[in-house]
Amino acid sequence: MNTTLSFEERVKDLIGHMTFDEKISQLFNISLEIKRLHVPRYDWRNECIHGVAFAGYATVFPQVIGMSASWNPELVYQVADAISTEARAKHHEAIKQNKRVRYHGLTFAAPNINIYRDPRWGRGQETFGEDPYLTSQMGIAFVKGLQGNHPKYLKTIAEPKHFAVHSGPENKRHEINIEVKEKDLWETYLPAFEACITIGKAKGIMGAYNRLNGEPCCSNSQLLKEILREQWKFDGYVIGDGGAVTDMYSGHEVVATFKEAAARALKGGCNVINPLNIMTTLKIKRYHVHVKKAVKEGLLNESTIDEALKFSFLARFRLGMFDPTDNVPYSNIPMDVVNCDEHRNLSLQMARESIVLLKNENRILPLSKNIKSIAIIGPNADHLEALLGDYNGTPKQYNTPLQGIKNMLSSTTKIFYSKGCEHFNRDEFLSQEALDMADKAEVIIMILGLTGQFEGEEGFVLGPLKGDRNTLDLPKVQEKLLKELASLKKPIILVLMNGGALSINFAKKNITAIIEAWYPGEQGGNAIADVIFGNYNPSGKLPITFYKSTSDLPDFENYDMENRTYRFFKGEPLFPFGFGLSYTTFKLDNLEIAPKKIKKGENIKVNVEISNTGNRLGQEVVSLYLSKIESSLNPPLRELKGFKKIQLKPGERKNISFLLTPREYSIINNEGKRVIEEGVFKISIGGFEPIPEYKNKILTGEFEVKA
């Protein structure tokens, strides 16, 4: 309890005072109270990927995939900072009430930085998308926002998850063995984790359920010791996902008993064991017995337990849990910050920036607020769940698209609303009322898509319909409704609310305008209305590829990256990664690459000018992609290496600079090593697909690397 000593000294002293039984009591996700040593009970599990979840009221921000579509790490940082502020307030309020239970702690299973390699994965909505670089930048921002910037104390602790190579199928996650080549491991699946640990300085990490090349991730010494501790110098704790250690015998069958699984996990580098998703003190004590047996039978030694406790207690000290509250700057945040006006406004801004305009035929958008009549139709128009996504909190206030649009329109506008159909209905029932209303309206706004009933996490708490999708299409009844209304030959604005890519082939060809709104959070209705009626000029860009069909995809269980994501996909996408339109126009010119020839190890400077050539204020993402012209190492076809989001007034012009270091133009070889090849590299600024919507937007140039 001596606050003049370092945290490391205090942890060593504390562990030295603990009995063997007391040590065992601290190894699990529910760490029990040790009164004589002033150690309070602590439950390690908490969730906050887009707001503090499962603990009552909290600001609900857009789902993570939507935040990524903002391409705005600075805004992501602000969101994470707001989340951690609410988390601290809720934690200390719970402590006052002696409520030391799940979902009230300060250690968070966030962010989810797994690569969204396949759009069928139900949990892809929780990620920052399919690209390692974009995921890295967003992940770093989120980690820093959660953990704060105090020189001594952490605000909360981030646990980037799921380490590693984890992205479905959901119904096999407790048993699947994922075989991954070293090249794919280091080129695609590990970069975001490395960035969050080495740059973001995350002090926690959550192990995945699956096996990686034969060994369960939560006992995988290559991951947890060689890579995490030795290469990346990680000094935080490793916690297993809920039930991951139990899976070692019940799913993977690499051991026969829990005592063997616990021993294997602790020796492999896991520090906090999480036996089951639902745990009580009584159940935890039953697991203590198995660990004692493991030690007694020589499967585990006490020094390994001490090593695990060193990292877990260091985390608790860093959070200020053993220090006077006056010493810890985050201890007195009041409860009135939870879902406050400032945070609601931040949620609104993030929702606005997350929206992607996919089509705007004849510039029908933005609509006039004085339109004579409008029909708002679709099962997501007035549906709370479509705002939230998974792992969500409970908003005090929220507005659906129907509410947002109604609030925006003139009092003279005739508004017709009908659900039109259910989200999913085997009988494909369509409302005649909806068809009649659409026939009366000047313009139709259709709000379709998915909810957590169609995509999400497989699990006992989540219901039978959750999990992965086997199709990328809209549910058939919604597609039928869309086609029926399209036959009226009236302007239709289609708003999609979903977490994963949709194969909207008919809509792209036949519908006037298309907006991708994701699961936009509690202020989603206002944000959608702001975009439709021009209060906000859309600036979002896709963080994933929209494919035409599942026939474009490799087998779901195959983790090879060949023909996956924009980096390796050789087909024609429905909408490409990085795509997104605006109500204004931008022009790139004066691309400068210097020097054009370099030696290995030298930097490249890239400058480009961008101007707003339209008549509206707008934000644009200037992105830089790199391709190796010829290589024997099969690098990505193209790869994002830098981006900047800027705002320009009409007629305004700005210079944008990028620096390409040797790391940026290095290539991962077949052994997973980063090397630099000689030869010519192509730089593309602004995009990479020669599609009509990007005409005159892409600039290209080259540089050469020599020995």
- Domain ranges across the chain: 341-568, 586-706
3-state SS assignment for residue 705: strand
pLDDT digits (tens, 9 = 90+) for 220-263: 999 999 999 999 999 999 999 999 999 999 999 999 999 999 99
3-state SS assignment for residue 79: helix
Q: How much helix, strand and coil, in percent to the nearest 5, is found in the chain?
A: 35, 20, 50
Place of tokens 């390699």: 117
What is the token pair recorded at 178?
């994922």
Place of tokens 């644009």: 620
Distance CA 603, CA 665 (A): 9
H or E element, residue 346? helix 341-354
H or E element, residue 293? helix 281-296
pLDDT digits (tens, 9 = 90+) for 592-629: 999 999 999 999 999 999 999 999 999 999 999 999 99
Residue pair 679/630 in contact by the 8 Å Cβ criterion: yes
Helices (H), ranges, 59-179:
64-69, 73-96, 132-147
Extended beta strands in 469-603, E state: 492-497, 513-516, 586-594, 597-599
End-to-end CA distance of the chain: 58
> What residues contact residue 11 under an 8 Å CB cut-off, 6+ apart?
309, 310, 313, 314, 317
Which of 3.90.1150.10, 1.10.1200.10, 2.60.40.10, 3.40.190.10 is the CATH number of 586-706? Answer: 2.60.40.10
What is the token pair recorded at 631?
């290589």
Distance CA 229, CA 227 (A): 6
The pLDDT, as a whole number, for residue 694 is: 55
- Identify the CATH homologous superfamily for domain 341-568: Glycoside hydrolase family 3 C-terminal domain (3.40.50.1700)
The pLDDT, as a whole number, for residue 69 is: 98
Whether the ω angle into residue 262 lies within 30 degrees of 0, i.e. cis, is no
Residue pair 386/451 in contact by the 8 Å Cβ criterion: yes
What is the token pair recorded at 628?
């190796």
What is the token pair recorded at 443?
């313009």
The pLDDT, as a whole number, for residue 461 is: 38
Distance CA 542, CA 518 (A): 11
443-449 and 237-240 beta bridge pairing: unpaired
Residue 131 annotated in active site: no
Residues of the chain with pLDDT under 50: 460-463, 690
Place of tokens 């659906």: 400
Whether the ω angle into residue 636 lies within 30 degrees of 0, i.e. cis, is no
> Quick one: CA dihedral 69, 75, 80, 84, positive or negative?
negative
- What is the secondary structure of 670-687 as a DSSP string? TTS-EE---EEEEEEES-
Distance CA 67, CA 112 (A): 12
Helices (H), ranges, 565-611:
565-568
Among residues 43, 184, 241, 247, the one annotated as catalytic is 241
Residue pair 481/434 in contact by the 8 Å Cβ criterion: yes
Extended beta strands in 513-554, E state: 513-516
Residue pair 125/390 in contact by the 8 Å Cβ criterion: yes
Distance CA 192, CA 186 (A): 10
pLDDT digits (tens, 9 = 90+) for 296-319: 999 999 999 999 999 999 999 999
The pLDDT, as a whole number, for residue 462 is: 43
Distance CA 562, CA 635 (A): 10
3-state SS string over 632-663? CCCCCCCEEEEEEEEEECCCCEEEEEEEECCC
> Quick one: CA dihedral 526, 529, 530, 531, positive or negative?
positive
Tell which residue, 577, 438, 430, has the closest CA to residue 516. Answer: 577
Exposure string for 32-63, b = 16+ CB within 10 A, e = fewer: bebeeeebeebbbbbbbbbbbbbbebbbbbbb
* Arithmetic mean of pLDDT over the chain: 95
H or E element, residue 352? helix 341-354
- What is the secondary structure of 10-41 as a DSSP string? HHHHHHHH--HHHHHTTSBSEEPPBGGGTB--
What are 418's strand-pairing partners? 377
Long-range interactions of 199-202: CB distance < 8 A, separation 24+: 199/136, 199/140, 200/139, 200/140, 200/142, 200/143, 200/144, 200/158, 200/160, 201/143, 201/144, 201/147, 202/143, 202/147, 202/157, 202/158, 202/159, 202/160, 202/236
Residue pair 104/46 in contact by the 8 Å Cβ criterion: yes
User: 290 phi and psi, to 5 degrees?
Assistant: -65, -35
